[in-house]
Chains A and B, each alone.
Chain A
């Protein structure tokens, strides 16, 4: 996992010289064997082990470094949500075996455009490609705080209902990357009133993905059952960043 040091410094004050810090992190179990210079930036490459999914974010790594150094992290400052201004209903039909917790919010009147340069630079330093402001923001927050989230085009959620269920096997699904798949049995999927719009935990659907025309979005945070995510991922040979994050239990 790539950790740009300038981003890390927003959450923890770094007191040790880089080489010493890298060894101390390795000693604690967060193996860091290489750090590359990219212009002004230094990017550390850390190896997250299966027993420490809490390291899968900038904040998580910052916490570990604070523990190593004996100082405190700078808590993320989250402003209060604006008051609800309109009625955009959405019906979530849960299954607690599949999503232990499911929270979401509808945001109306968004304008899809390319992200500002600073965000594009951060996305690139994560090793990802910038796409548009909404998708980049969800990836950015996921990477920064370790919270798995996904954005849907609200108007593409037919019937304003999201049914969480398991696939029977053989269903056709086109991922947000435009690739067609035939789903295996027991994959976690979200269906609106007509079609499958999400391969939960792994890839969003092309139909509900955020394109330039999206006006309203539904943003959700899910705590997925990691066993289903991992099994589906292996059955399809499809490994995604989101899938990797969710295949281990994240502390919520």
Chain B
């Protein structure tokens, strides 16, 4: 076995030296070190070697492999050098290699559009932590512990072992509304705030759900705010995003931090209202849950509810992208494939 190994090594060395160009060299490499290469096959035969000589065989085999690999890379460098020396004329006026340009992700594009629309309405953008406390994400939003509505937002909890964090108090935020409590503590009303951000919910991943998603949440606190102000804002924003002829309608819904709570339905752009798998055959797609801020939320933030009230809303950013570009599967947006991104 040992002799076989040595003769194989010499054979390989000879072949490498004889290689004329890069292609030939690659053939030699594959023949010896590739998947079915002679050295690879020899490695598999190691069990046929008697016990005593196995160690030396193994050492010699590894040494040979390394030697061959080094020789190949040296030869490769030598070949490149000789190639560049062979060229006698080079057109220096030729344009250089074009660097590949990046593409802005559709989520980023839509986000900057949304920011612009709300900027025009007088909103400021606030950014908040993705790892939140249970207090801001739930309790400050009128969702006490053990409230059944927590079941609708399956929460990821951060493992607090080994830290001085209280267990089950640190979570990945399930909604950017968590920022409401934080922002309202920073200043005094009136507020017009927009909070875009990534949220996390423990959900089964399918065509219209993921475990991480982008929300844009917003809220207004001012004197004498009406439900009609909310409806008007929603109509304006959706008109700007999807066109002024977009049909919308409202339905009652329930969130503990708004009262009344509404959900905005927009005619499904994918099937134009006829019914498809994205809108579950109804022809309408939920797009903007909203409502008048529950007085408990304002009181917790230290705001006088006799003077101030307001509304809050949320838009699913991923949903806007889906509806606008008619992408039927949400997972397309988080798949790292240049063929997708290069279309935007």
Q: Which of B147, B251, B252, B282 contacts A50 (CB 8 A)?
A: B147
* Bound Cα distance A29, B261 (Å): 9
* Bound Cα distance A46, B146 (Å): 24
Determine if A51 is an interface residue (Cβ-Cβ < 8 Å). Answer: yes
> B251–A29 contact, CB under 8 A?
yes
> B146–A49 contact, CB under 8 A?
no
Q: Which of B148, B149, B251, B281 contacts A34 (CB 8 A)?
A: B281
Using Cβ atoms and an 8 Å threshold, which residues of chain A touch B281? Answer: 34
Report A235 CB to chain B, min CB distance, Å: 12
> A33–B280 contact, CB under 8 A?
yes
Q: Which residue of B lies closest to A19 (CB)?
A: B282
Using Cβ atoms and an 8 Å threshold, which residues of chain A touch B60? Answer: none
User: In residues 248-262 of chain B, which contact A (Cβ within 8 Å)?
Assistant: 249-254, 256
Q: Which of A26, A27, A29, A247 contacts B254 (CB 8 A)?
A: A29
How does the 8 Å CB contact mask read for A26-40 relative to B, with 1 for contact and 0 for none? 111101011000000
* Bound Cα distance A138, B148 (Å): 25
Known contacts A50-B147, A50-B148, A230-B148; is-contact A28 B252 (Cβ 8 Å): yes
> B252–A29 contact, CB under 8 A?
yes
Determine if B152 is an interface residue (Cβ-Cβ < 8 Å). Answer: yes
Q: Which residue of A lies closest to B253 (CB)?
A: A29
> B253–A49 contact, CB under 8 A?
yes
> A51–B254 contact, CB under 8 A?
yes
* Bound Cα distance A248, B147 (Å): 9
Determine if A227 is an interface residue (Cβ-Cβ < 8 Å). Answer: yes
> A227–B252 contact, CB under 8 A?
no
Interface of B is mostly: mixed
* Bound Cα distance A227, B144 (Å): 11
Q: Which residue of A lies closest to B148 (CB)?
A: A50
Determine if A122 is an interface residue (Cβ-Cβ < 8 Å). Answer: no
* Bound Cα distance A49, B262 (Å): 13
* Bound Cα distance A141, B14 (Å): 90
Determine if A101 is an interface residue (Cβ-Cβ < 8 Å). Answer: no
Using Cβ atoms and an 8 Å threshold, which residues of chain B touch A52? Answer: 254
* Bound Cα distance A33, B279 (Å): 10
Report B277 CB to chain A, min CB distance, Å: 13
Report A139 CB to chain B, min CB distance, Å: 22
Question: What count of chain B residues pass the 8 Å CB interface test?
Answer: 16
> A27–B149 contact, CB under 8 A?
no
User: In residues 127-153 of chain B, which contact A (Cβ within 8 Å)?
Assistant: 146-149, 151-152
Q: Which residue of B lies closest to A51 (CB)?
A: B254
> A27–B252 contact, CB under 8 A?
yes
Determine if A220 is an interface residue (Cβ-Cβ < 8 Å). Answer: no
Determine if A231 is an interface residue (Cβ-Cβ < 8 Å). Answer: yes
Q: Which of A31, A230, A247, A248 contacts B251 (CB 8 A)?
A: A31
> A33–B254 contact, CB under 8 A?
no
Using Cβ atoms and an 8 Å threshold, which residues of chain A touch B282? Answer: 33-34
Report B104 CB to chain A, min CB distance, Å: 35
Q: Which residue of B lies closest to A24 (CB)?
A: B251
Using Cβ atoms and an 8 Å threshold, which residues of chain A touch B251? Answer: 26-29, 31
* Bound Cα distance A7, B254 (Å): 27
Q: Which residue of A lies closest to B250 (CB)?
A: A27
Known contacts A33-B280, A34-B280, A34-B281; is-contact A247 B148 (Cβ 8 Å): yes
> A50–B254 contact, CB under 8 A?
yes
* Bound Cα distance A168, B134 (Å): 28
Report B142 CB to chain A, min CB distance, Å: 11
How does the 8 Å CB contact mask read for B24-52 relative to A, with 1 for contact and 0 for none? 00000000000000000000000000000
Using Cβ atoms and an 8 Å threshold, which residues of chain A touch B249? Answer: 27
User: In residues 117-173 of chain B, which contact A (Cβ within 8 Å)?
Assistant: 146-149, 151-152
Report A33 CB to chain B, min CB distance, Å: 6
* Bound Cα distance A49, B146 (Å): 15
- Candidate in A34, A51, A230, A247 with the most chain B CB atoms within 10 angstroms: A51
* Bound Cα distance A227, B254 (Å): 20
Using Cβ atoms and an 8 Å threshold, which residues of chain B touch A33? Answer: 280, 282
* Bound Cα distance A120, B282 (Å): 31
Q: Which of B146, B254, B280 contacts A231 (CB 8 A)?
A: B146
* Bound Cα distance A27, B264 (Å): 10
> A49–B254 contact, CB under 8 A?
yes
Using Cβ atoms and an 8 Å threshold, which residues of chain B touch A29? Answer: 251-254
Report B268 CB to chain A, min CB distance, Å: 12
**Could you list some 14 contacts between A and B, CB below 8 A?**
A26-B251, A27-B251, A28-B251, A29-B253, A29-B254, A31-B253, A33-B282, A49-B253, A50-B147, A50-B151, A51-B256, A230-B148, A231-B146, A247-B148
**Known pairs A29-B251, A29-B253, A227-B146. 18 more at Cβ < 8 A?**
A26-B251, A27-B251, A28-B251, A28-B252, A29-B252, A29-B254, A34-B280, A34-B282, A49-B149, A49-B253, A49-B254, A50-B147, A50-B254, A51-B256, A52-B254, A230-B146, A231-B146, A247-B148
